[in-house]
Amino acid sequence: MPTKIHPALIGFTVLVFFFLVGPLVIVLGSALSDTTYLTFPPQGISLRWFQNIFEIDAFRRTILTSLQVAVISTFVALLIGIPASYAMSRYRIQLPGWLSTLFVLPVLVPELVLGFSLLKNLAFQFNAPIFLSLIIGHTILILPYVIRVISASLASFDFSIEEAAISLGSPPLKTFFTVLLPNVRSGVIAAFILAFITSVNDVSISIFLTGPGISTLPIQLLAHMEQFFDPTVASVSVLLMVLTVAVMAIVERTLGLTFLAK
């Protein structure tokens, strides 16, 4: 028998979800407006502001940069995060306890501080290219997500399967790809998606690491908003929401969305 809930609480929750979804509907509506200024409800339906995104050079460039940074840093984070998670599950006794604390540090240290420190002590001090600094910053930002999600899937992995494969003569790398990786497949997909979306949306690190010719999409959006108040920003926002929906669909198909509520 389910617990009865007071109708006032249900009414309150309905309002909260209205509050959560409403503003995003407003952004969608404004993006479709045929006017040169932002308005809601939209006056006339048009897709011209979507077309406008790709006519502005800065948007084209920053969309490309954002995707490049997200793909590269997600790939690097998986490449170094999967072995690290594996080591922490498989060789726990060899490794010191502070290692797991080290890997949550990127969550504890404010992103702004990391971004500023990379600018000051890497890009400026050592003349490191801005793009490289962006990749380093984003990789560090998303590493904790990768390690947490992969470690969670490794927690239910039976390492004796792996030992069986090795004792039957399978070389270590082959064992990794044919035995371990398929078993944590869903974790890798979840980690990839969380990492990718976190990187694409990042403001606080990237805001310090933009230079001549290099900027990311969210930073370009901020800059555009300071000068113009037209529906372009709304239509870029809708593009980002479409990306989010696509990502959620992938998560839903592979893992079920309740996975994210843990």
Partner 1 sequence: MKRFAGWTLASPATLLVLLGLVAPVAATIYTTFGTPGGPFAPYLAFFGSGFRRTVLLRTINVSLAVTAIALFVGFITAYVVSRAPGWLKSILIIAAVFPLLTGVVVRSFAWLIILGKNGILNSTLINLGLITEPFQMLYTQGSVIVAMVYLFVPLMVLTLVGVLEAIPDDLIQASASLGANSWATFTQVILPLAVPGLIVGAVLVFTGSFTSYATPQLLGGEQVMMMGTLMYQQAMVTFDWVSASTIAAIMVVITIAIVMAMNAAARRLNPMTV
Nearer to partner 1, 27 or 188 (CB): 27
**93-109: b (≥16 Cβ within 10 Å) or e:** eeeeeeeeeebeebeee
Backbone phi and psi for residue 186, each to the nearest 5 degrees, phi listed first: -65, -35
Rounded Cα distance, 96 and 218, in Å: 38
Residue 53 within binding range of partner 1, rule CB under 8 A: no
Report the nearest approach of partner 1 to the CB of residue 92 (Å).
8
Q: At its nearest, how many Å lie between partner 1 and the CB of residue 168?
A: 18
Least gap, CB of 54 to partner 1 (angstroms): 18
CB of 230 to partner 1, least distance (A): 12
The 3-state secondary structure of 103-148 reads HHHHHHCCHHHHHHHHHHHHHHCCCCCHHHHHHHHHHHHHHHHHHH
Interface residue with partner 1 among 65, 208, 215, 235 (CB under 8 A) is 208
| 91 in contact with partner 1 (CB under 8 A) | yes
Q: Is 173 in the site for partner 1 (CB under 8 A)?
A: no
Write the interaction track for partner 1 spanning residues 94-113; mark x where CB under 8 A is met and - where it is not: xx---x--xx-xx-xxxxxx
Interaction with partner 1 in 18-47: which residues (CB under 8 A)? 19-21, 23-24, 26-27, 30, 38, 40
Buried b (16+ CB within 10 A) or exposed e, 41-67: ebeeeeeebbeebeeeeebebbbebbb
- Residue list 54-83, contact with partner 1 (CB under 8 A): 79-81, 83
Q: With respect to partner 1, which residue has the nearer C-beta, 24 or 58?
A: 24
* Concatenated DSSP letters of 1-31: -PPP--HHHHHHHHHHHHHHHHHHHHHHHHH
Give the distance from CA 236 to its chain's centroid: 17
> For residues 111-170, which are near partner 1 according to CB under 8 A?
111-114, 116-122, 136-137, 139-140, 143, 147
Q: For partner 1, which stretch binds (CB under 8 A), given 15-23, 46-54, 56-64, 158-166?
A: 15-23
Q: Tell whether residue 244 is a contact of partner 1 (CB under 8 A).
A: yes
Among 17, 160, 212, 227, binds partner 1 (CB under 8 A): 17
Measured CA distances, 156 to 83, 101, 118, 187, 232 (Å): 16, 22, 37, 11, 46
Going from the C-alpha of 257 to that of each of 24, 188, 250, the distances in angstroms are 20, 15, 9
Is the Cβ of residue 83 or residue 161 nearer to partner 1 in the bound state?
83
The CB-of-257 to partner 1 minimum distance in angstroms stands at 6
Measured CA to CA in angstroms, residue 20 lies from 65, 201, 246 at distances of 30, 18, 19
Number of residues engaging partner 1 in binding (CB under 8 A) = 86
- Per CB under 8 A, the segment of 49-57, 149-157, 183-191, 220-228 that binds partner 1 is 220-228
